[in-house]
């Protein structure tokens, strides 16, 4: 049965809390996949330590070792392919991915972003939400294209913005939903339920 599981590669730049949510979902049987490789552009990313704790290969690729973004992304593709990755997950990966990755993995790169896209793409989504005075924020899982936080939306979860919220408090509540949503979407993919039509993704049989 192990050979039949979807092999995912996770790209992360930070603490890897969504990566941990993926590991937890696999351990509890919610997600029938396995993590083939965790890759980071940051040498001290905690995500790499989390991978080691789960006996999963982890690699730091330093962008400064490559002449440009496309060369760096080509090296990422080589690493992912060497680990038989079928689906790429951007879990707090703080770099835009370019054509080499998107060409090698067409409609097979998924990102999670802490806002209800198309609202507040890019960095500091929580800060943007608070500055605009919105009453509801949340998170979005979407397929990746060459634009920032763009591409067919797969699923979203909403979170109320409370009076007195700070970036930290809003982030903490949204993270809870991120940790629920991302493994569920990966499972939909593993089951072949995701169908892209235009800029939207539909789950066969409903959510």
Query: Catalytic residues, which ones?
Result: 113
Query: Which single residue is written with the structure tokens 């949340």?
Result: 138
Instruction: Give dist(CA 19, CA 92) in Å, integer.
Output: 9
8-state DSSP, 162: P
Instruction: Give dist(CA 159, CA 60) in Å, integer.
Output: 33
Please provide residue 32's backbone torsions phi and psi, each rounded to the nearest 5 degrees: -100, 75
Say if CB 24 and CB 35 are below 8 A apart.
Answer: no
Instruction: Give dist(CA 82, CA 76) in Å, integer.
Output: 10
User: Is residue 60 within a helix (H) or strand (E), and if so which, with residue range?
Assistant: strand 58-60
Beta strand pairing call for 136-143 and 109-113: antiparallel
Helices 167-190 and 125-132 cross at an angle (nearest 10°) of: 120
């Amino acid at each position: 049965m192990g050979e039949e599981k979807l092999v995912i590669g996770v790209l992360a730049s930070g603490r890897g809390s969504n990566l941990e949510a993926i590991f937890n979902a696999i351990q509890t049987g919610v997600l029938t996949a396995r993590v083939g490789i965790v890759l980071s552009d940051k040498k001290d990313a905690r995500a790499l330590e989390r991978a080691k704790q789960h006996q999963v290969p982890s690699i730091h690729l330093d962008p400064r070792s490559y002449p440009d973004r496309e060369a760096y992304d080509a090296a990422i593709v080589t690493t992912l392919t060497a680990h038989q990755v079928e689906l790429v997950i951007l879990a707090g990966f703080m770099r835009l991915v370019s054509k080499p990755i998107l060409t090698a993995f067409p409609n097979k790169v998924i990102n999670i972003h802490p806002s209800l896209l198309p609202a507040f793409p890019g960095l500091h989504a929580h800060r943007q939400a608070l500055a605009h005075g919105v009453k509801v924020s949340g998170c979005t899982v979407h397929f990746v294209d060459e634009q920032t936080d763009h591409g067919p939306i797969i699923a979203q979860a909403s979170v109320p913005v409370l009076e007195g919220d700070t970036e930290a408090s809003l982030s903490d509540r949204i993270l809870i939903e991120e940790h629920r949503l991302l493994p569920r979407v990966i499972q939909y993919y593993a089951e072949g339920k995701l169908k892209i039509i235009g800029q939207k993704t539909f789950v066969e049989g409903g959510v």
